[in-house]
Structure 1
């Protein structure tokens, strides 16, 4: 081997160069340097989960859910949510912040749901499919049948006129839930008050009789 200037390399230089550039001895093993994993635990306890939100903060979140359908879905998430949403105080506050949706018009005999292009049309027709506004689940009437008087908070007020003993035609009232098909008759006018209700000028029929719901006080 030669230097760049043409001189010949001595054997000492050649052996030293081979020692520096040669391969490692076959019996020599290279030690791998293992770095510690910064993400591996050192035996300490895992981080604790954050504490649950107190009920009054959860209520502040739920009361701001604009859609009643979304509120129902949220209440189904866990028992604590359902308990908060079902409370009477929460429902009163929710109704004060979110006016009821206009789903249709209730006439004396039927419910007319909101039609297409109305923002609540889909919800209105879902109500029609789930509820029974035909009143077919009520006992039959001998005279005029049941008619709608008022509606509030998912309940409807019904009225019918039936003949009492003595030939008096007096109204009977009932509160029904079209979704559950449940119905609760209201107490009738007691016999002791029939004369004051009819009066001498009205004969056997009651005069103008208007029934309606009164909002519950907070």
Structure 2
């Protein structure tokens, strides 16, 4: 009986040893290479995802950023493609109604005068010097053009000079000037002269302003 029992124990031990050996062989020959391959593929996938994200950022920076309709409207209201003298007069009259001033005359350049243009200097490679745009346009308009001005080669912005004669108190005249500068249409105030109106007991003022238009904007933004 003892011999039979010892024999069974040996067989069991040998069986367990064989199972352990085969388990080790199976792990090193199959499981471990598969795990290493999985880890390598996961690392490759992470690199691909990182590269894809990087490429997307580069593509976004290269793709032209289109303006929204609201931004285009703001640009064309500020600097339209034609003089729009009638709208300028309406803006001045609206500003008059919002202040305590009284506008007596509004005068523009006559058609016989040479067309007034604001020439923008270009660099040696033909691109526009951006600093000139920032001084010519208000900040909101310049931000809309900032990504495009370097692409413009020969760019001329035309303008009309307008002279406004009006009467009112110092405060009302100053408010009139401030409101002109805040209009959607770009008004550049060139000069304001005051004189005492002893008859009315207030001030007369003459405002010289400049309003811009540019036929090239439509082509640039399309």
Same fold at TM > 0.5: no
Q: What TM-score results when the alignment is normalised by the length of structure 2?
A: 0.25
Whose helix fraction is larger, Structure 1's or Structure 2's?
2
